[in-house]
Structure 1
């Protein structure tokens, strides 16, 4: 039975050693983490903190640029909804150099953050404090928010410039018709018909632009506008051709042409509200998404540089 006592003694010794070892390991685990042992991370933190300070300063400037771009984007969208194309173009002109600065700063910051020492090494977990590692991650994530803003601005610009181009074409058509009507009243019918060819070209160009926009924009109002104006141009031309053929005398053919011209004229839009709707629809085809993307990037940047 002596051997049973010896075995029990050995078992007790093993248990005690195991418990003691666990206590030692547990104690060590509570001490070696970076938060508990700042002397282990002070070197890495002191090396990284000045670099992160510089990156954060640059990020603050980048945030201001994105905020300025957002102001231009919202202004352009609001002006387009109000039909103020001059303000739209001014906002785009102001925004272009801001976008260039954002792209350049994003590249510099991305390169600087990627080149930070220690963080991508196996020793980072105990050589750099949690706070510093989290700060670096926060700044990197914020810079990522600006990627693609140049493409969003290009989308906004495309929508705005398409609206401006279409507005110019529609105005050219109206101007040509007004001048043709003035010549017609003076009996200069052939000259009037020649001017109406300019109106036809403007309508044709507007339809080609419409075909490029149809995939992203509701063109129903634009289609109605073009159809009605084209119908009036055709009726006015037929009237002047009829008058020119009889030396300006009123014949039955001329009377029919006059009636057709009056009917087409009655179908023309009474004011510019329809045109404003057209411009707004074209702009919203890309501008809303661009404004949202810029605002989201601004928010992420602002959060990254906020105190605390």
Structure 2
């Protein structure tokens, strides 16, 4: 096993371990029987409404990534959608968000793009998502009584994502960076390709990417709200800010496949802040994973199987 494979293996083990710990912490607050009872009594109609908003969410995510990749290569909406859905499917079945690397590799091979440039565009996605999640945490904190864990989570995540955003923004600048010239050619080439993936940050198109991100997270919030309604949890928009902030932040960190464990704990923690039993939060997280993430996983795997087994000769066409 090569060094790269060992790193991937270890990262995967760490993600599974993190998910297992958070799942244990979530289930300590309730019982599986109670969660199963809530799931069996859930309102399927609200789950279908959630699926509709989640579908719209994915369409806007495809549009955003297409805009980010346009600085590298112009691709059709369908082409970008194929890569994103396949990548999301991989993310849901691989631990520690390794699906993001799979997405970069898949798009690079299929559309003859630099993998480093694609990784750069994905970095911009994740950091923008992180900043919006932090904004939700900050605003949601105004409507939650004193909570030390939520305060710490807000401060740490704000510092982290702001630091990363500033670093990416500086790296994307056109100004000369003499220190790069001192690097070995192979590393320098990868950094320059990575910077190409960040190039949208220095253009007028970045405003459009930010606007798309805001729409995406509005749809994400409505999706979560609908799933919570399905398990008889009714929250106002102020309270949903905290749910979106905590639950979404849990999906941005390396965890088990399908965010198992981290999602359960995040939902249980946030709904308990507003007087609901943790079991309803765990049920909402599980319904999200089965009904929403499961759907995109099936679609992504179906697309991947089709283009690799049914039409393997078209693997590298745009």
The interval holding the TM-score normalised by the smaller chain is: under 0.3
Ranked by relative contact order (alpha carbons within 8 Å, sequence separation 6 or more), the top structure is 2
TM-score (normalizing by structure 1): 0.25
